[in-house]
Amino acid sequence: MTLQSQSSRPISVRFKPTPPMRRAAPRQPWARAGGIALAAAALLAVIYFVFADSRARSTPPATDLSTLQAPPTTPPAGRPSDGPMARPASVPQAGGTAPTDGSAAIAAGGTGAGANTDANTNNAAAGLAAPSLAATSGAATTTDSATTDAATIDSAAAESAAVETLGAAPAPLPGSVARALESAQRDIAAGRLVEARTALNAQLMDTRLSPSDRAGLKAQIQALNQRLFFGPQAAPNDPLTDTHTVASGDSLIRIVQRQSLPVDWRFLQRINQLRSPSALRVGQTLKVVRTPVHAVVHKDRYRMDLWAGPGLPPGASGFARLGPEGQAEGWTFIASFPVGLGELDGTPEGLFALRRNSKLTDPRWVNPRTGQVFEPSDPKNPIGEHWIGLAGIDQATRVLEGYGIHGTIDPQSIGDQRSLGCVRMHAEDVALVYELLVERLSTVRIAD
C-alpha cells in the first residue's frame, strides 16, 4: 500500500484486460523451452487453419486474446532479495455508496429491465466484458461452436518462442509433455476444448519442466479459458461450470446464495454479459461457476495465478501435495495477473484464507504510518476501490494482521515493491479477483 504516489487521478474501474509485465526471459534451460515453442507452434498452426472460417463469423468483440503472452518468470532488476518485513497496513473500513446488490428479483412470467436475450450481446453495451486478461483488441469466438481464437494462441506461441536461443537445437521434450501437446492438438481440432485444457493442465504438475516450459503451457490454457471459463456459455462436460435456468423470483444474489455458488454475484453478471443485475427473464439460461477459485502469488515473478479446484479439507492448515507452480493437486489453471508487493521484501509468505467480513468495495482507509484518513470515494485513496482482507492459516502466517489484496492509483507500482506489505493490482484486475475469491472456500498462497 504505497504512500509514494497518492495521485489525484480518479480511479476508473474498467473491465479492460491488463497486459502482463514484460521482463527478461529466463536463460535456462534454452533447449527445452525451444522444444515447447516448436511443439506449441505446430499445435497452433492446426488451430489456425481449422478455425479460420469460424473466426470470420465471430461476433462483436468480447473475449480478445490477440496479444496473449506467457507470464514472465523473472523479477525486475534491483529487487531486494531480503529485508525487514514492512508494517502491515491498517484494515480498511466499509463505507461509501453501497454497490448495486444484484438482489432485484423478477416477477412471475416477467422480464427484467434490459434483459439480455442474446448471449453474444456486445460487451461494450454491457459494460462488463469477459476479460481478455493479457490482450487489448480482437474479435470474440462464437459461443455455439467449439472454437477458440487461433491468432491469440499464435501470439502465445510467439512469446514462448522468444526464449529460444537463436540457432540452438531444441532438446527432446519429456514424453508426457510431447504426448499432451499432441493430444491437445487433436482435441482442439475436434472441438474438444475441455479435454485439451485437461491434457495441458496435467503437465503443470511435472517437476521436470522449467518455469519457461510451464509458462508456455499456462499461456495455452489461459487462451482456452477465454471461451471455457470467461465466455457466456458452459461447455457440456466442463467440471468447473454449469447452467441455471432463471425462475420467477430469481436474482443474481439469490441464485448465488441458494445454490451456494463459490463466486460473487457480479461474476455471473460479467460472464453472462448482462447490462445490469436486473437484466433477467424467466426461462433464461445463465452460466454459473461450481468450483472455488484460489490465488497463488509468485513474489519472484510479480504474478498472481488463479486456479480452480477443491479447497482445504476441514481443519487442515495446508494441502497434502503441491505442484511446482504452488497449485494443489486437482486444481485447474485459470489465468495470471501482474502484481505489486511490499517494499523491502515486506510481503509475507505462507497460506492465507479470506478474513471474515473483510471483502470491501470503496473502503475507508487510514494510513498506519501517518494517520492520514482516506474516506470512501476519495480519488487519492492509495488502495483503490477494492479490498480483500487476508487471515493467515498456517504456522508462519497465523500471527499476521492487516494484510490483504487491493487496487492502486499508481499503475507504475505494479511489478515493483512499493506497498506496505500487501499485494496490489491494477484496478480492473482486482475487481475480477474480488468477484472470484470468496470466504470459507478460497485460499491465497504467497510464495517466494
d(CA 147, CA 47): 9
Q: What is the pLDDT of residue 43?
A: 58
* Other Cβ atoms within 10 Å of 137 Cβ, number: 11
| Residue reference for cell 510479480 | 302
Per-residue pLDDT of the chain (448 residues; tens, 9 = 90+): 433 333 333 333 333 334 444 444 444 444 555 555 555 555 555 444 444 443 333 333 333 323 333 444 333 333 333 333 334 456 677 665 444 456 666 655 454 444 443 343 333 333 333 333 333 233 333 333 333 343 443 444 444 443 333 344 455 667 778 888 898 999 999 999 999 999 999 999 999 998 888 999 999 999 999 999 999 999 999 999 999 999 999 999 999 999 999 999 999 999 999 999 999 999 999 999 999 999 999 999 999 999 999 999 988 999 999 999 999 999 999 999 999 999 999 999 999 999 999 999 999 999 888 999 999 989 999 999 999 999 999 999 999 999 999 999 999 999 999 999 999 999 999 999 999 999 999 999 999 9
Q: What is the pLDDT of residue 331?
A: 99
Q: In the chain, what are the domains?
A: 30-74+133-228 (no CATH), 293-447 (2.40.440.10)
Q: What is the pLDDT of residue 67?
A: 32
- CB-count burial class (<10 Å; 0-12, 13-18, 19+) for 61: middle
